[in-house]
Structure 1
Amino acid sequence: MHGGESGPWRGALAVVLLAVAQILVVFDTAVFAVGLPLIQAHRHLSFSGLTWLLSVYSVCFAALPVLAGALGRAFGHRRVLMGGFALSSLAAAAPALSLSASVLLASRAVQGVAAAVITAGALALIDATHPAGRDRDRALNVHFAVVACATPAVLLPCTMLLDSVRTEDTVFWVQAVAGGVLLLLTPVALAETAPVPGARTRVAGAALAVVPLGFLAWFADRLGDKSVSVTTVMAIAVGAALVPSVLGWLGRGERVPALLARLYRERSAFGAYTVVALLAAGLAGAVLVLTIALQLLGGLSPMQVGWALLSAVAGVVLGCLVLPVLAARVGLAGTVAGACVVAAAGFVLLSLPGASYRFADVLLPLLLIAFGCGVLALPAGFARSGSGALPQELNSSRQFGAGLGASLFVGVIAVAQQRTTGTSLPVLKAYKAIMAGGIRDCFALGTALCLTAALVALVALPRHGGRTTGPEPDLSGGAPAGTAGSPGSSAR
C-alpha cells in the first residue's frame, strides 16, 4: 500500500515517524556516550567495563542489518519494525529497574539488535507508503539527511537532559516510553508490506551473514584493544569494510542475501556500498572520540561538547546542498572522491601532533569531516547516477560501517587507557599525554578510511554526470530497472 492510496497525509506521517524512530536510535547511542562518566560512577564500572558496553552495542548493530532486511521481506517490514520498538523499550527499562552491571551489558546488546532492526526497516516502509518517483526520492533524501545529521544534532539535547536529571535511570525511562509510543503509532502511520514470495528461504542465508559481519566488528574491537601498531589497525579496518563485498563472491547461490549477490555482480554497486561503509565508520568513530577528547583534553562540559558538535550538522547540510549539484556536473565518482578527500583533511587537522581539542579548535575540522560525509545523505543520488545502488542496501552498508568504526575507535582508546598505568610522570599529566596520543591515532585511522573511500569511488563509481531531480527513464523509484524499489525489490 502506497501513500497515494490513502492520501498524502499518511506518506508525510510515515516520513516523520520513521525519522523520529531513527532519532531514537541515535539518541540511545549519543546519550550513552556523553553519559559514560555518570554511568561509571553510579554503576561502579571500570574503564574496561565501559568499553564493553560500547563494543557489544556496536557489534550487534553491525551484524544484524542483512538479517533484519531478510526478515522484513519474509514476514512484513512493519511487523519487524514493531518488534524492534518493543525490544528497544524492554532493553531500556531493564537497567532502570536493576543496578546490575550484567543487566546493563545485556541491555546494550539487545539495544544494538533493536537499533539494527529499526534502522533496516525504515527505508522499506518508506517504499510502502510512497509511490515510485519524485515523492519516494524526496522521502528517501529527507530520511537520510536526518540520519546523517542526527548524531551531532542530538548530542546537545542529550547533554541538557543529563544536566537536568543527573541520573541515567531517567534517560533509560525516556527511551522506554519513546519506544512504546512509536510502537503504538506504527500501525496508524505505516502500511504493512506483503511478504515476498520465496523470501523465507533466504532468511537462513541472511542469518549466516550475521556470523562474519558480527565477527568482523568483534575482531575490530579485539584488535584495537591490543598493543599492535596503528598501521595494522588501519589495514584491518579498511580490509574489514571491504569484506561484505568480498562475501559477494557467494552471490552465485540462490539462497545468498541479495545485498551480497549484488556486490559480486556489479562493480558500481560494490563501489557505492564500500564508500558508504568506510565513511560511516569514520563519522561514527569521529563523533565518539571527539565526545571523549573534548571532555578529557579540552576540559569542556557535556553541554559545551553538544554545542561544539553542532558544527557537524552545518557540514552535513552544506554537503547535501552542494554535492548533488556537483555530481550532476562532474559525475558521481569525482564528486564522491572529492568529498572523501575533504573529510580526510578534517581528520588530518585533528591528528596533528600539536592538535588542541578545545571548543574553537575542532569546529573547522568537524565541519570538513561532516561535509565529506554528506555523501551518506544521498541515496537517491547514487541510484539516479547509474551506480545501481539501492537505498535499502546502502542503509545496510552504513549500519555495518558505523558499527565497525565504533568498535575500532573504542579499541584504540582502550589501548591508550591501558598505557596510562604505571607511569612515573604526575598522574594527570601522564594520563592526558598518553590519551592524546591514542586520540590522534583514532583520527589518523579516520584519515585512512576516507582516503580509501576516495580511491574506491574513483575506481568503481560512474564517472558521468547524473540528473539530480526525478528518476532516470530506466529506474523505478531510484532503483535500477528490473529491481523495482519496492520493499522486496532486492530479492532475486
Structure 2
Amino acid sequence: MSRRRLAVVLLGAAQVLVVFDTTAFAMALPWISSRSQLSVDGLTWLITMYSVCFAALPVLAVALGEAFGQRRVLMGGLVLSSAAAAASAVTQDADVLLTSRAVQGVAAAAITAGAVALIESTHPEGRGRDRALSVHFVVVAAAGPAVVLPSTMLLNTVESGAAVFWAQAVLGVLLLLLVPVTLTESATGPEARSRLGRAAAAVLPLGLLAWFADWLGDHSVSPTTIIAVAAAGALTPSSLSWLGRRGQEPSLLTRLYRERAALGAYTVVALLAACLTGAGFVLTLALQMVGGLSPESVGWALLPAVAGLVLGWLTLPLLAARVGLACTVAMACGVAAAGFVLLSREGTGYHLADVLPPLLLIAYGCGVLALPVSFARSGSGALPRALNSSRQLGAGLGASLFSGVVTVVVVGMPSSGFHSRKEYDAALAARFPECFELGIALALTAAAVALLTLPWQGLRTTAPDPGASAGAPAGTAGSPGSSGP
C-alpha cells in the first residue's frame, strides 16, 4: 500500500475514532449515570459540553493548523482525546466528567479540522486528491451508523463503560504513534499566523450558537419554536444575498450575492449534518425506550444507513451531471425529509420494520455530505476544508438541538399515572414524533437553500473544469484561497 493510501486510511481511522467516542459515550450513559449518580439534567450537560466545544472550534482549529502545521494539530487532538478518554474511565466525579467531555470536544475539533488539510498535503492536485477527498468524506458520513454496532458489542462483551474508554485511549495512542511515520507536515507561513486573531474571534459566537441551540431545545414547550428559529437562521444569508443581486444595495449584500453558491453549499452541509446526527441520536433512544431493542440490536438496526449513504455518494454526482447541482441536492434533501415524515407519523412503533425504510431515505438524502468535490466542481467556490468545518458545526448543533428536544420529551412525561409499562411506552411513542418534526424542518430548509443558491447547470464528470490544473477543479483545495473560512 502506497504512502498516500496509508495516509487516507490513517486519517479515516482518526475520524472514526471521533465518531466512536461520541457513539460509545452515548451507549455508556446508563453505566455513567449509575456510577456517578447523575440525573437526566447532568447527563444532558455531558452531551452539551462536548457539542458546544466541538461546534465552536472548527474555524480556529483550521487556522492553528495553517499557522503551526496540520499534523501538529492532529497529534495534539489525539493526545487530548486519549487523555480525556482515560479520565472518563477512572473518575466518578461529575465535575471531572464534564471537564473531560469539554476536552474531548476540543480534541474532536482538532482531529476533524486537520484531516482534510493533511489529505491535501499528502496528495498533489488532480484526480488522486479528488478521489482521496471523496473517500474520506463518505467514510466520515458513514462512520456514525457504522460504529454503533461495534460499540454496543464491545460494551456487551466487557460489561463496563470503563473498558470502552480505555480502548478508545489506546486506539488514540496507536494512531498518535503512526502519524509521524505516515503523514507529512503541511506548509505553514507567517501570514497564516496573522489570521489567528480573526479565527479566535469566531469561537465565542459559534460556541454561543451551539449553547443557544441546546438552551432552546431545553426550554421550548414545543419544537415549533426551534423549527422556526432554525429555518429563519438558515435562510437569512440566502435572503440577504438575494436582496443584493442588483449591486445597488450595501457592499455586504452584494458580496453575499456573489458568493451565494458557496454560502449555500456550506449551509446545506451544516443542516444535513444536523439531520444525520439528530436522526441517529433520537433513533438510538427510541428503539431502546419504545421499541424494546437491546443496544446491540439497535446497532444492527442502524447499520443499513451505511448502505443508504454510500448509495447517495455513488448516484448523486451522476444525477447532478444531468440535471444540475441545485435540483439534485434539493431532491436529496426532500428524500431525507420524507424519511423524517415517515418517522413522525402517529402509530409508529419504532421496531426494525418501522424504522428501516425511513432510515434508508434519510441516509440517502444525507449522502450529500459525501460530495465535497462535486460542490467544488459546480463553480460555487465551496472548498473542502470549509465544507468539513460546516459539517462539524452542523453535527454539533444537531446534537444540541435534538438532545434538547429529547430532554423536553422525556422530562415532560409524568412520573406517575401509568398503570403499566405498556401505557408508558405508548405515551412516549406519541411524543417522539416531536423530535422528528425538527428533522423535517431542517431537511426542507436545506432544500430551499439549495434551490435559492446552488448552480442549476449540469456538472461535467469527465473533462476538467475551465481553469483546472492537472485535472483539479478550479476552486478546490490546493488552489489559492483554499484554506477554508
The 5-angstrom pairing of residues 77-116 of structure 1 reads 77-116=70-109
State the Cα distance separating 1:434 from its structure 2 match.
Answer: 4.5
Distance 1:78 1:247 in 2: 38
Q: Of 18, 21, 37, which residue of structure 2 is paired with 1:28?
A: 21
Q: Does 1:153 align with 2:154?
A: no
Which residue does the alignment assign to 2:384?
Answer: 391
Deviations 1:439-491 (A, max 9, x none): 21111100000001011101100000112346423235897647762697337
Deviations 1:269-297 (A, max 9, x none): 01100000110101100000000000000
Distance 1:471 1:174 in 2: 44
Distance 1:384 1:270 in 2: 15
Contact kept? 1:134, 1:470, Cα under 8 Å? no
Contact kept? 1:133, 1:470, Cα under 8 Å? no
Which residue does the alignment assign to 1:456?
Answer: 449
> How many residues get paired?
475
Contact kept? 2:238, 2:453, Cα under 8 Å? no
Which residue does the alignment assign to 2:435?
Answer: 442
Which residue does the alignment assign to 2:231?
Answer: 238
Which residue does the alignment assign to 1:201?
Answer: 194
**One-letter code aligned to 2:96:** V
Which residue does the alignment assign to 2:325?
Answer: 332
CA 1:471–1:72 in 2, change beyond 3 Å: closer, same or farther? Answer: farther
Which residue does the alignment assign to 1:127?
Answer: 120
Q: Of 314, 318, 343, which residue of structure 2 is paired with 1:321?
A: 314
State the Cα distance separating 1:96 from its structure 2 match.
Answer: 1.5
Which residue does the alignment assign to 1:421?
Answer: 414
Which residue does the alignment assign to 1:14?
Answer: 7
Contact kept? 1:343, 1:373, Cα under 8 Å? yes
Q: Of 359, 363, 370, which residue of structure 2 is paired with 1:377?
A: 370
Contact kept? 1:70, 1:203, Cα under 8 Å? yes
Which residue does the alignment assign to 2:303?
Answer: 310
Which residue does the alignment assign to 1:366?
Answer: 359
Q: Of 189, 211, 216, which residue of structure 1 is paired with 2:182?
A: 189
Which residue does the alignment assign to 2:32?
Answer: 39
Q: Of 386, 392, 404, which residue of structure 1 is paired with 2:397?
A: 404
Which residue does the alignment assign to 1:257?
Answer: none
Which residue does the alignment assign to 1:288?
Answer: 281
Deviates more, 1:437-446 or 1:108-117: 437-446
Q: Of 299, 305, 321, which residue of structure 1 is paired with 2:292?
A: 299
Distance 2:35 2:16 in 1: 26
CA 1:491–1:163 in 2, change beyond 3 Å: closer, same or farther? Answer: closer
State the Cα distance separating 1:245 from its structure 2 match.
Answer: 8.1
Q: Of 251, 260, 266, which residue of structure 1 is paired with 2:259?
A: 266
State the Cα distance separating 1:99 from its structure 2 match.
Answer: 1.5
Q: Of 107, 110, 121, which residue of structure 2 is paired with 1:117?
A: 110
- SS of aligned partner of 2:2: helix
State the Cα distance separating 1:54 from its structure 2 match.
Answer: 1.1
State the Cα distance separating 1:412 from its structure 2 match.
Answer: 0.6
**One-letter code aligned to 2:433:** R
**One-letter code aligned to 2:70:** H
State the Cα distance separating 1:50 from its structure 2 match.
Answer: 1.1
**One-letter code aligned to 2:202:** A
- SS of aligned partner of 1:299: coil
Distance 1:383 1:69 in 2: 19
Q: Does 1:177 align with 2:149?
A: no
Contact kept? 1:137, 1:478, Cα under 8 Å? no
Deviates more, 1:30-39 or 1:303-312: 30-39
Deviations 1:120-165 (A, max 9, x none): 1100000000010100000000000101111111110001000001
Distance 2:67 2:379 in 1: 28
Contact kept? 1:420, 1:430, Cα under 8 Å? no
Contact kept? 2:373, 2:476, Cα under 8 Å? no
Contact kept? 1:273, 1:394, Cα under 8 Å? yes
Unpaired segments ≥5 residues, structure 2: 242-253
TM-score normalised by structure 1 residue count: 0.91
Distance 1:456 1:412 in 2: 24
Deviates more, 1:11-20 or 1:421-430: 421-430
**One-letter code aligned to 1:43:** S
Distance 1:244 1:10 in 2: 41
**One-letter code aligned to 2:100:** S
Which residue does the alignment assign to 2:59?
Answer: 66
Deviations 1:324-375 (A, max 9, x none): 1100011000000000000000000000111120012100000000000000
Deviations 1:1-43 (A, max 9, x none): xxxxxxx811111100000000000100111122222222222
**One-letter code aligned to 1:173:** W
Q: Of 146, 155, 165, which residue of structure 1 is paired with 2:158?
A: 165
State the Cα distance separating 1:387 from its structure 2 match.
Answer: 1.7
State the Cα distance separating 1:193 from its structure 2 match.
Answer: 1.1
State the Cα distance separating 1:44 from its structure 2 match.
Answer: 1.8
State the Cα distance separating 1:240 from its structure 2 match.
Answer: 4.3
Deviations 1:31-69 (A, max 9, x none): 112222222222221111111111111111111101100
Unpaired segments ≥5 residues, structure 1: 1-7, 249-260
CA 1:482–1:219 in 2, change beyond 3 Å: closer, same or farther? Answer: closer
**One-letter code aligned to 2:307:** A
**One-letter code aligned to 1:15:** V
State the Cα distance separating 1:416 from its structure 2 match.
Answer: 1.3
State the Cα distance separating 1:105 from its structure 2 match.
Answer: 1.2
Deviations 1:386-411 (A, max 9, x none): 12110110000000001001100000
CA 1:490–1:106 in 2, change beyond 3 Å: closer, same or farther? Answer: same
State the Cα distance separating 1:243 from its structure 2 match.
Answer: 7.3
Which residue does the alignment assign to 2:246?
Answer: none
**One-letter code aligned to 1:202:** R
**One-letter code aligned to 1:118:** I
**One-letter code aligned to 1:80:** V
CA 1:424–1:484 in 2, change beyond 3 Å: closer, same or farther? Answer: closer
Contact kept? 2:235, 2:445, Cα under 8 Å? no
CA 1:244–1:456 in 2, change beyond 3 Å: closer, same or farther? Answer: closer
**One-letter code aligned to 2:159:** R
CA 1:55–1:240 in 2, change beyond 3 Å: closer, same or farther? Answer: farther
Deviates more, 1:423-432 or 1:118-127: 423-432
Distance 1:349 1:278 in 2: 19
Distance 2:411 2:118 in 1: 45
CA 1:309–1:422 in 2, change beyond 3 Å: closer, same or farther? Answer: closer
Deviates more, 1:396-405 or 1:432-441: 432-441
**One-letter code aligned to 2:15:** Q
